[in-house]
Structure 1
């Protein structure tokens, strides 16, 4: 009988659990978890004013450690909250990684996507058969199923690829959507419901939305932004930048609003591999950081391969197989900028 259970245990360990996940880890101790809707509006039916719809709100899921740090980490991707929850191979993602470090973690779905998908206007969905586009957009390789040689993805695991490409929401990359997301997020930031020290961890087009949130927020709760491969930037109206319509910017705001970005403790724009300095969004990140610093801010651009020696990073490096090393860089960022203190003394 014992031999049978021993064989069964070996089978589970070899097929159901990743080797590093099998090692004992410190437990995640939560004081509470939950979620709430915020922002949006209520509209009446044209046919009957007594019939209403609550819509265009955002949704926030939260996890508060038993002994929390002061800084709340708001994890924001414009088309998938799943990428924060697991590594590509199913291993530990940023959500649990930073809960173990006792940071309150918030997963944000902006208006009209994910768990906040009640729009106030008619919406149409047309399948666009985007798996091939996902592969290239998320920088797994130069063409579909042509992986970069050192990519930090389990390239032989078809299930991992299926999970990755299935994780996306229907993405809405419009000017209206950026405004809706940043409106709702600024209300959430000002409300105090996500803490007094907020750092946005963003990916892709979420970076532009978080910058716009910081520009719109009235209070000083937002302390930082770490934008992984931000597609879109905010600029002041006193430089020669032409704003573009759509969900990827650039956006141009009055100088006094732009200066709010310079009041944050720190901003970091992070790039993975195969992002040449001539690429438009890399150039925009350099210029945005320069302008933020010109007004007394603390903005930097970090290339994971060139500056930190980490290789094989995709568009979503916090979900790559090397995400523990990427997370260690975030640890350093938080520590160096005084954002790692605990909410109360352990004594």
Structure 2
């Protein structure tokens, strides 16, 4: 279904640029209008359960009633003079599609940055999270204090101190906004449930580019296996769920935050990942040797596993790369580089990748 054949035009003003795909705007430069041809939202990938019995209108019980759940929620915007391939943005753990929107300190996030670069953008709330909270499986949601854990784990610093030179927006207001963007699972996390819903979304969008973040890495790989409409994957700090052929599983990787385990898929499914370009980005303050700092050691093994995964993809004839940003002179990035102070610079890196792979062609 084609969602952008309409006449709606919306002018959005903000910080940014309507520059070509690889161009970086001047800092704090004047904003040009962002013209949106069409926008909307929908649910997809749903499951429906049906209770036995007969529904009685004036004496309702669960009997005879249905329940819709395990769908994802997608909000889309299509700019005027759009590029051919939309971008679908899948969030990570404990957050929602909001993580791609306005940054905690009020700047434009990847949603608007890439709209300005004339890509249609679809923001996802995955099944059992955010605006797709209707879970087919029950779970308990407790108000567990964990803000300081996430400050460390997402590499803003070691609570209460920020890392030197970190690209995160500092100050109580920005951190308050970040903490309020965290949201729980409303059902057990299930990568296959997410991937099935994501594949249904790609059935709706047609050929598109997948951006994934953190825990979204595993359902991102599974989505690309399930849907030939995934034409490339841009993965920002995938944290788990690296899939390997069953006969080529690397050793598990222990860290002070727990043991990272590879996931097995069939050789046939793994081969599907070798047919599309893939780029993975990791930020700064990731150690190369074991450390007692839980928040950092957690990412040491994830970066190491990502490098083994890319090597396996390329060994099978694929086109994948890991970009460790400090190694190319970009320093200070946190786990949320799409909302860091230099998020336009990170977007420029991604735009160059999309241009290189001819994924930014005009419609």
Partners of 2:214 and 2:249 in 1: how far apart?
24
Partners of 2:355 and 2:262 in 1: how far apart?
31
Deviation at 1:235, TM superposition (A): 1.0
Q: Residues 76 and 120 of structure 2 are in contact (CA less than 8 Å); yes or no, is this contact kept in structure 1?
A: yes
> Is 63-72 or 40-49 further displaced after alignment?
40-49
Q: Give the total of aligned pairs.
A: 316
Moved over 6 A (4+): none
Partners of 2:251 and 2:51 in 1: how far apart?
39
Q: Residues 138 and 186 of structure 2 are in contact (CA less than 8 Å); yes or no, is this contact kept in structure 1?
A: no
Q: Residues 44 and 53 of structure 1 are in contact (CA less than 8 Å); yes or no, is this contact kept in structure 2?
A: yes
Gapped regions of structure 2 (runs ≥ 5): 1-14, 17-25, 54-61, 290-299
Give the match for residue 287 of structure 1. 308
Deviation at 1:171, TM superposition (A): 4.2
Post-superposition CA distance 1:268-298 (Å, at most 9, x none)? 1110001234521111101111111112211
Counterparts of residues 3-152 of structure 1 (less than 5 Å): 23-45=29-51, 48-78=62-92, 79-141=95-157, 143-152=158-167
Post-superposition CA distance 1:288-311 (Å, at most 9, x none)? 11111112211000011112x111
1:195 aligns with 2:203: no
- The CA RMSD measured in Å over matched residues stands at 2.5
* C-alpha distance 21-286 of structure 1, shift in aligned 2 (>3 A): closer
Deviation at 1:173, TM superposition (A): 9.5
> Is 118-127 or 50-59 further displaced after alignment?
118-127
* C-alpha distance 240-152 of structure 1, shift in aligned 2 (>3 A): closer
1:258 to 267, 270, 273: 270
Q: Residues 177 and 247 of structure 1 are in contact (CA less than 8 Å); yes or no, is this contact kept in structure 2?
A: no
Post-superposition CA distance 1:229-264 (Å, at most 9, x none)? 1101111112134789x9975321001001111011
Post-superposition CA distance 1:132-163 (Å, at most 9, x none)? 1110121100x2121001011232x2010000
Gapped regions of structure 1 (runs ≥ 5): 1-16
Q: Residues 213 and 236 of structure 2 are in contact (CA less than 8 Å); yes or no, is this contact kept in structure 1?
A: yes
Deviation at 1:85, TM superposition (A): 0.8
Give the match for residue 340 of structure 1. 360
Secondary structure of the residue that 1:306 maps to in structure 2?
helix
Deviation at 1:69, TM superposition (A): 0.4
Give the match for residue 331 of structure 1. 351
> Is 232-241 or 293-302 further displaced after alignment?
232-241
Partners of 1:255 and 1:165 in 2: how far apart?
41
